[in-house]
Amino acid sequence: MAKILIVEDEQHQRELYALELQDEGYEIDQAANGKEAVELVKTNKYDLVIMDIRMPEMDGIEALGKILSKDKKIPIIIYTAYSNYKSNFMTWTADAYITKSSNLDELKNKIQEILATRSGI
Amino acid sequence: MKRFLYRTLFFFGPDLLFALFVAFILTSLDGNRVLAGAIAAGVVSMVAVRAVLFRIGSRFYYAQRIDAIRGLVEEYKKGRYIVPKIEISGRDELLELYGDMRTLGKHLSSVINSQKTELEKFQNLYNSIVFSLSTYYLILNGEDKIVFANTGLCEKFNFEQNEIVGKRIEDIFYFVNRRLKEGLRQVRKYENSVLLEKTHLLSMKKVSIIADIKISNIVLQEKRHEIVVIDDVTNRLQKDYQISLMSQITESIQKDDEIDRILHTILTGVTSGAGLGFNRAMLFLLDEKSQTLHGKMAVGPDSFEEAIEIWSSIASRNPEESISADDEKASGKALLKNVMNASFGMDQDSVFTRAMKTMMHIHVLDLWNEQDISEEIRALLNVKEFVIVPLVAVNRSIGVVVADNKFNKAPIGKGDIELLSIFASQAALSIENYVQLDSVRNEMQKLGQRQDAIVESEKLAAIGRISAHIAHEIRNPLVTMGGYARRIFQLARDREKGKDVSGIKDAAMIILNESERLEKILSNVMDFTRPSRYIREFNNINEVIEDTVNLLKNLFLEKKINVETNLETDVPLIKCDFNQMKQVMLNLLQNSIDVTGPGGRIVISSESTAENIVVRVMDSGSGIDQEDTSVVFEPFFTTKVTGVGLGLAIVKKIIKDHGGDISVRNITEGGSEFVIILPVPV
C-alpha cells in the first residue's frame, strides 16, 4: 500500500485529507509545516508528498527544494489555495500543481495517476 | 623840587633884595606913615606882578610838552598805540618822557597786535566750528526771546539772522508744541538739560523738519540763557519710517480687512511728516465689474489751520504709532466725503484713468493751466500741483494714489514721486497676492472636501491591497467546510449501508467552527469599509492589535516576515473607535511589511503608564531616509512606487482625533519604530 505524506498547516484540512485518503486505502503521515515534512522524509520512505505552500516555519517551496535535494525521485503534488504560484519555476519540479477545493476528486485522481505511472516504470 | 626852589630863588632873588632895601628905608622914615604905606603897597604889587608873570612864563614853557603827552595818553585810551611825533625844540625831561612814552606805545602796539592775530585765529577756528555744525541752535534770553540763531538754522528755515533775533520762539515756528514748552520750563526750573526726541518743527516759512531738540542752560554776561540745540533727524527718521512702512506694506495680507489696513498704511505713510511728508493723499480703487474708479480713502486736513492742529498734536511719534493710529480720520472730513463720492468710468478719458491705463505716474505742475483736466477733478483737488501714481500689480492697475502739498505748497520732488511709486507698487503686489491667495484658499477648501473623500477611498484601497491575501484567508475555511460537508454527505450515505458514521458529529463541529472563523474574517474586513463616523467606546487596544495581526497573517507568511506581539496583559481600556484603531494598525503594519524584506521582523508591543497607553510598532526594515522623520506623516509623502502616500497621514489624523500622538524614529539596529501614545481616560 502506498504511503503518502500530507504537509498542511490547517489542522482540519490536513485531517480531512487524511480521512479521505485513508478511505481510499492509503497509509498517511501528517506534517504541519515544511520543517516537519523535511524531518519526516529523512527517516521515512514515502511514495508521494502532498504539499501546501503557505505555512509557518518553513513554507512549501523551501521544503520542496530540500526534499528533492535528498530524493529526486519522490513525487510531489502541490496543493494550495494560491493559484499564482503556478508561474514560479520551482514548482515545476513538482509533479502536479492543484488548487485547493472542497472537492478532493481532482487530488485523488492525480494521486492515482502518478502512483500508476511510477509503479509502471 | 630842588630845581623848582632854585628857579624860584633865581627869579624872585632881586625882588627879595629890593624888598629888604625898602624895608630898611621904611624903618628910617619914622613918622611918615603915608609914604611908608605907599612904598610897601608898591613893593607888594610889584612882587605880585612878578609872580603872575613867572607863572605865565613857566606855563608857556611847559604847555607844548604837556599837550603832546596828553595827546599821547588820549590816543592810548582809544587803543591807538602808535602816534605821530609832534616836533618840539629843546631838550628837557618832559621831552624825554614824551619820547619814552611813545616807545612804550610802540611796544604795546606790537604786543597787542600779535595777541590780536592769535585771537583772530582762534575766533576763526571757533566760528568755523560753530557754523559748520550740522545742528542748528538758538539762544533764548530766559524770557523766550531769541538772542542768537546760528547760520545753519537761518539757512534751513529760510530766515535772515536779523529776522529772528529779538523774536519770540512762537514767532518763528508755527507751533511750539507742548513738549518744547514743557522742556523749556523744566530747564528753567530744575537747571538741567532736557532732550526732546523726534519733535516736529514747522517754521513760518513752511519748512518742516523732525528734530531731536536739546535744551540746556547757558550763562552769558552773568545772565541765564537757554541754548536750544536742534538736531535734524528728518532724513534718518524718514529712512527708518520708510523701511518700517515698506515692511508693513509687504506684510502678506491674510484677511479681507487687511487690505484696508495696507491702504490706510500707505495713505498715512504718504502724509506723515516722517514718511513722505505729503499734505494730502487720496486713494481710488478700480471696481472690476463696473470698470469704474471709486474713491476709497483719503487722509489729510481740510485747511491749513487743521493741518497745523494735526501736526502740533502728532508732532512727534514713532512710525508704528502713526500707522495704526486713526486719529487723523477725525480731520479732513470734507476731503474724505468728496473722495468717497467721486467715481470715474474707465471708458472716459481723465487724468486718473490715463495713469491707470499707462501704468505711469502723472505729475501735474499747474492744474489751472492744464487744458485736459476735467472740472470734476479740478473741483475735487483744488490744488495747483499734485501727482497721480497708479497701483500696479503684476500686469494691471488696480487703482491710483493721488498726493499733493496743498497747504505748505512745497514742490513735489522727483524723489518723493519715486518713493511713492515704490510704495504703491508694493502695496498693489500685496493686494494682488491676497487676491491670488484668496482664490488659492477657495481651491484649497474644495480640495479639502475632496481630500476627505480621498481619505475614505484610500482606506478602502488599503484593504483592497490586501484583498488577495484575504481571499486566501477566506478560501481555507471554505475549502475545509466544503470538504467536511462532502464527507458528511458521504457518511450519511454510508449510514444507510450500516457503516460507522461517528465522524459526522466531528465533521459538523468542524464546519461550525470554520464558518465562525469565516464570519470573523469577513467582519474583520468589513470594519474597514464602514464610514468613518467615530464611535467611541471602551476598547482593549490589545484586541485591536491581535485582530489586525490576524488579518495580515497570510501576508506575513508570504513575505516571510516574523511577527511578534509583546502585549501587556490588563492594559487599561481606552475610549476609542475600534475600527479606526484597526485602520491605524493595518496602515502601520502594511507600511512595516512594505519596508521589511524576507526574513525581517516586526514587533508590536503595548504598555501602559498612569496616563497613557503606548503602542510600538518596530520593524527591521530600511528605516526612514529623512532628516525630519515626521515628514512621513505628511499627506502624499511616499517612497513607494505604488500607493498615494496617505496611509500614514490617515494614521496621524485618527490618532490626533483621539487626542493622542504618534512619532517615528530610526532605531540603531536598523529599521524604524512608530510610537503611538493614547490617553487613558481619567
pLDDT at B318: 46
Is B560 close to A104, i.e. CB distance below 8 A? no
Nearest to B479 among A19, A20, A102 (CB): A102
pLDDT at B614: 94
Which residues of chain B are modeled with pLDDT < 50? 315-329
Region at B483 (left for phi over 0; alpha for psi -120 to 50; beta for the rest)? alpha
Could you say which DSSP state residue A76 is in?
A: E
Q: Would you say residue A82 has pLDDT above 70?
A: yes
In a domain, A24, yes or no: yes
Task: End-to-end CA distance of chain B: give it in Å, rounded.
Answer: 132
CB-CB neighbors (< 8 A) of A20 in chain B: 483, 487
CB-CB neighbors (< 8 A) of A16 in chain B: 480, 483-484, 487, 510
Number of domains chain A is built from = 1
- Measure B597 CA to nearest chain A CA, in Å: 16
- Measure A63 CA to nearest chain B CA, in Å: 14
pLDDT at A109: 92
Backbone angles phi, psi at A72, to 5 degrees: -70, -20
- The beta strands (E) that lie in B311-396 are given as 343-345, 362-364, 386-392
The radius of gyration computed from the CA coordinates of chain A, to the nearest angstrom, equals 13
Residue A23 sits in which domain range? 3-102
In a domain, A112, yes or no: no
In a domain, A81, yes or no: yes
For B107-161, what is each residue's pLDDT tens digit? Answer: 988 898 899 899 999 988 887 777 667 678 888 887 888 888 888 888 888 888 7
Quick one: which of B488, B487, B511 has its CA closest to A18? B487
Unique residue bearing C-alpha cell 481710488: B284
Nearest residue in chain B measured CA to CA from A33: B557
Q: What is the largest CA-CA distance in chain B?
A: 231
∠B486-B490-B495 over CA atoms, to 5°?
145
**Residue pair B285/B399 in contact by the 8 Å Cβ criterion:** yes
Q: Which residues contact A62 (CB under 8 A, 6 or more apart)?
A: A34
CB-CB neighbors (< 8 A) of A88 in chain B: none
In a domain, A9, yes or no: yes
- Measure B494 CA to nearest chain A CA, in Å: 12
In a domain, A23, yes or no: yes
In a domain, A69, yes or no: yes
Q: Would you say residue A50 has pLDDT above 90?
A: yes
Mean pLDDT of A95-120: 86
**Residue pair B332/B305 in contact by the 8 Å Cβ criterion:** no
Question: By the CB < 8 Å criterion, does A118 face chain B?
Answer: no
Nearest residue in chain A measured CA to CA from B475: A81
- The beta strands (E) that lie in B64-151 are given as 136-140, 146-149
Contacts 24+ apart (CB under 8 A), B482-491: B482/A101, B482/A102, B482/A103, B483/A13, B483/A16, B483/A20, B483/A102, B483/A104, B484/A12, B484/A16, B484/B508, B484/B510, B484/B511, B484/B514, B485/A102, B485/B511, B486/A102, B486/A103, B486/A104, B487/A16, B487/A19, B487/A20
**Would you say how long chain A is, in residues?**
121
Is B483 close to A54, i.e. CB distance below 8 A? no
Helix (H, G, I), strand (E, B) or coil at A72: coil
pLDDT at B641: 55
Helices (H), B133-231: 151-157, 161-164, 169-172, 178-190
Between A72 and B254, the more confident residue is A72
**Residue pair B161/B154 in contact by the 8 Å Cβ criterion:** yes
CATH number at residue A23: 3.40.50.2300
Torsion angle of C-alpha atoms B665, B671, B676, B677, degrees rounded to 10: -50
Give the CA distances from residue B161 to residues B66, B156, B202, B205, in Å, rounded to whole numbers and listed in that order. 49, 12, 18, 14
What interface predicted TM-score (ipTM) does this complex get?
Answer: 0.80
Tell me the count of A-B CB pairs closer than 8 A.
50
Question: By the CB < 8 Å criterion, does A70 face chain B?
Answer: no
**Residue pair B314/B303 in contact by the 8 Å Cβ criterion:** no
Question: By the CB < 8 Å criterion, does A30 face chain B?
Answer: no
Nearest to B479 among A13, A59, A82 (CB): A13
Give residue B250's Cα distance to chain centre.
Answer: 13
Torsion angle of C-alpha atoms B215, B218, B224, B230, degrees rounded to 10: -30
Nearest to B472 among A12, A81, A102 (CB): A81
**Residue pair B147/B225 in contact by the 8 Å Cβ criterion:** yes
In a domain, A42, yes or no: yes
In a domain, A121, yes or no: no
pLDDT at A6: 95
Q: Given the DSSP bridges, would you call strands A76-80 and A96-99 parallel, antiparallel or unpaired? A: parallel
Chain B residues within 8 angstroms (CB to CB) of chain A: 472, 475-476, 478-487, 503, 510, 513-514, 554, 557-558, 560
Rounded Cα–Cα distance for residues B544 and B526 (Å): 14
Region at B40 (left for phi over 0; alpha for psi -120 to 50; beta for the rest)? alpha
pLDDT at A8: 92
